[in-house]
Chain A
Amino acid sequence: MSAVTFEHITKTYDKGKVLAVNDVSFDVKKGELFGLIGADGAGKSTIFRILTTLLLPDSGRAAVDGYDIVKNYKIIRGSVGYMPGRFSLYQDLTIEENLNFFATVFGTTIKENYELIRDIYVQIEPFKKRRAGQLSGGMKQKLALCCALIHKPSVLFLDEPTTGVDSVSRKEFWEMLQRLKEQNITILVSTPYMDEAVLCERIALIQEGQLLSIDTPAAIIRSFPSELYAVKADNMHKLLKDARAFEGTASCYAFGEFLHLTFKNENNGSAVFLSYLSGRDTTGIEIRRIEPTIEDCFIQLMPEGQTENKNGGAE
């Protein structure tokens, strides 16, 4: 049985004016670490809020642990853990008091499920008398995770848990998630960071409320349709302009210090491109074939008009 089913859900805001989620369907298996990947405003939080029974969808149906989110919302509220994107614990209560409060709310005690949170809790335990409002971002996030876990939820919803957290803490956080997965807790996590996508077992790429693709990260990368090249030159701005002007270019966008290019002609596109560049006195050219990342797949999957926008922003 699936831990989460999401079938043809559509949700609009402002009486239908803003389309937040457009006919999205997916399934999450029991014990799976599932990632929702998408930029800000893609509709990730809306999906979480629907699944945690905070929002009603306009159409479609969804279920958590087999319980319908509309009819059996009370059961769901008792059995899932939710960590909203914004820190939502009581800032004027201490770590210990927050944890105790949420344990009591769910009719349990810290002691009962201490095993589950121990790894995380020991890191913040030295500060347990400190008020939550005075914690650092990383500690707040650990506390929020503890509070979401304290009742041993069957499904854990983490809405952008690593946004605004430093890279070391981010790495630590994902290690914690891997350990939780071993406890057979289904985890649904959303993130705008593409590099975190590969840490999930399966991911769904979302853009403007629409699902672009849903598979394992490896499969998504494999399904990248063409060869991808990274190109570098001394004058990057000129290179970008030249590459865009080149008729053999299928796609072209700035990616870190490189340009990522795909060519229309699969066989010798790169060779033709090089000879094209040599006629335009470009210096310091470096070109090599690379494995696509999730971000490349994401850009490639985006509808045409949006790709242009994205490139425009990256220039």
Chain B
Amino acid sequence: MRTIKFLLQKEFRQIFRNKALLPMILVLPIIQLVILPLAADYEVKNISIAIVDNDHSPYSRKLISTITASGYFKLTGYTASFKQADQLIEKDQADLIIEIPAGFERNLVRENTEKLFIAVNAINGVKAGLGGAYLNRIIADFNTDTRLEWIQPGRYNAVPQIEIAPSNWFNPFMNYRFFMVPGILAVLVTMVGGFMCALNIVKEKEVGTIEQINVTPIRKFHFILGKLIPFWVIGMFVFTVGLFVVARLIYGIVPLGSIVLLYGFLGVYLVALLGFGLLISTYSDTQQQAMSIAFFFIMIFMLMSGLFTPVDSMPGWAKMIAQFNPVTYFIEVMRMIVLKGSGFSDIKYHLLKIVAFAVVLNTWAVMNYKKTS
């Protein structure tokens, strides 16, 4: 116990003295948490649209004003021919072209039907997909509105109608920040906890201090604990600041579920993660090597954890990887507890898996640590 105490004392003293590392651990994650959710926005606005109106009728003007009034589109071209509009796309001044055929109004009124042509610039897939969908929706609404003007509904509808009224649970306004912020916080805690810990241990190897330590009565077990505990504490600290300062004050996110449960899960998760950090450190001799390995895993952790794209929509092999990614579970649990207010019974399988991660990673790391030194 005494050994652990002065090892911790030494470790914290070194961490707080490192003027380059301290801001990296404490300040950078907070800045990232403030900035990243603002950028990682799924809502697409300011889609440039070019309109080719061959009809010049009241109805076509009405359609155009409906589109521009929606707030999603920015009219960047109103051209006489499709060719001109096409050039706007070439110059990257328009993302979408909508062509209104001549006789639009006439056909609509007389034959009750008309076709519109939409061309989408699909270089940016997200923008194209969402822009096209928005436009379809607006035109559909326009369609309904126009019909309502003409047809006086009788006692019974001539055509049976199904109207869909969706309701978003747990995030009624579909505010993407509500699910991005907990997810990003999970990734940040992962980086600070796991990778900083790995770098710290490798530093002792690189500088050679581990050589001196090994010729002392300090037991390996104590030495490892002395390394893991500080980063466990730092992980907890960063999480607390992220949750109660950034998420609450800036984004107004108040966890619905139990804080104790959240911290309990985080505690176990950090143990698993520190085991991972320790494992990295046993496989590298220099901080540069450790950094390269860490970078590889950061990318996987970020992109294959369901942070940006749902795991369910990934191909089978990617789902497999996501299942072996502890971050996946932490992000899921974060979102469940924070947004949905899930209780222990909802996350118990997640917890079980993280416990398994903790046991496997730490055992592997300690075994490998003993072998190499």
Asked if A52 and B215 sit within 8 Å, CB to CB, the answer is: yes
- The reply to whether the CB of B260 lies closer than 8 angstroms to some CB of chain A is no
- The reply to whether the CB of A106 lies closer than 8 angstroms to some CB of chain B is yes
Cα–Cα distance between A93 and B216 once the two chains are bound (Å):
18
Cα–Cα distance between A106 and B218 once the two chains are bound (Å):
8
Asked if B209 and A105 sit within 8 Å, CB to CB, the answer is: no
Report the minimal beta-carbon distance from B1 to chain A, rounded to whole angstroms: 13
Residue of A nearest to B215 (CB): A82
Cα–Cα distance between A102 and B217 once the two chains are bound (Å):
10
Asked if B217 and A105 sit within 8 Å, CB to CB, the answer is: yes
Asked if B212 and A82 sit within 8 Å, CB to CB, the answer is: yes
User: Which of the segments B12-20, B111-119, B235-243, B309-317 contacts the partner chain?
Assistant: B12-20
| Known contacts A92-B18, A93-B14; is-contact A54 B214 (Cβ 8 Å) | yes
Report the minimal beta-carbon distance from B215 to chain A, rounded to whole angstroms: 4
- The reply to whether the CB of B251 lies closer than 8 angstroms to some CB of chain A is no
Q: Which of B10, B18, B217 contacts A101 (CB 8 A)?
A: B10
Asked if B215 and A80 sit within 8 Å, CB to CB, the answer is: yes
Asked if A84 and B13 sit within 8 Å, CB to CB, the answer is: no
- The reply to whether the CB of B58 lies closer than 8 angstroms to some CB of chain A is no
Asked if B215 and A106 sit within 8 Å, CB to CB, the answer is: no
- The reply to whether the CB of B141 lies closer than 8 angstroms to some CB of chain A is no
| Known contacts A101-B6, A106-B217; is-contact A88 B212 (Cβ 8 Å) | yes
Report the minimal beta-carbon distance from A223 to chain B, rounded to whole angstroms: 35
Chain A residues whose C-beta falls within 8 Å of the C-beta of B13 in the assembled complex? 93, 97
Chain B residues whose C-beta falls within 8 Å of the C-beta of A52 in the assembled complex? 215
Asked if A105 and B216 sit within 8 Å, CB to CB, the answer is: yes
Report the minimal beta-carbon distance from A208 to chain B, rounded to whole angstroms: 24
- Taking residues whose C-beta sits less than 8 angstroms from the other chain, chain B's interface range is 10 to 19
Report the minimal beta-carbon distance from B12 to chain A, rounded to whole angstroms: 12
Chain B residues whose C-beta falls within 8 Å of the C-beta of A102 in the assembled complex? 212, 216
Asked if A107 and B217 sit within 8 Å, CB to CB, the answer is: yes
Asked if A77 and B216 sit within 8 Å, CB to CB, the answer is: yes
> Per-residue 0/1 for A68-98: is the Cβ within 8 Å of any B Cβ (1 yes, 0 no)?
0000001001101010101111111100010
Report the minimal beta-carbon distance from A174 to chain B, rounded to whole angstroms: 23
| Known contacts A92-B14, A92-B18, A97-B13; is-contact A86 B208 (Cβ 8 Å) | yes
Report the minimal beta-carbon distance from A159 to chain B, rounded to whole angstroms: 10
> Per-residue 0/1 for A21-56: is the Cβ within 8 Å of any B Cβ (1 yes, 0 no)?
000000000000000000000000000000011100
- The reply to whether the CB of A235 lies closer than 8 angstroms to some CB of chain B is no
Q: Which of A77, A89, A101, A104 contacts B215 (CB 8 A)?
A: A77
Report the minimal beta-carbon distance from B146 to chain A, rounded to whole angstroms: 74
Residue of A nearest to B18 (CB): A92
Q: List 16 A-B contacts (CB under 8 A).
A: A53-B215, A54-B215, A74-B217, A78-B216, A84-B211, A90-B10, A90-B14, A90-B209, A92-B18, A101-B6, A101-B10, A102-B212, A102-B216, A105-B213, A107-B217, A147-B212
Beyond A54-B214, A84-B212, A93-B14, 9 additional pairs, beta carbon < 8 A: A74-B217, A78-B216, A86-B208, A88-B207, A88-B212, A90-B209, A92-B18, A97-B10, A105-B213
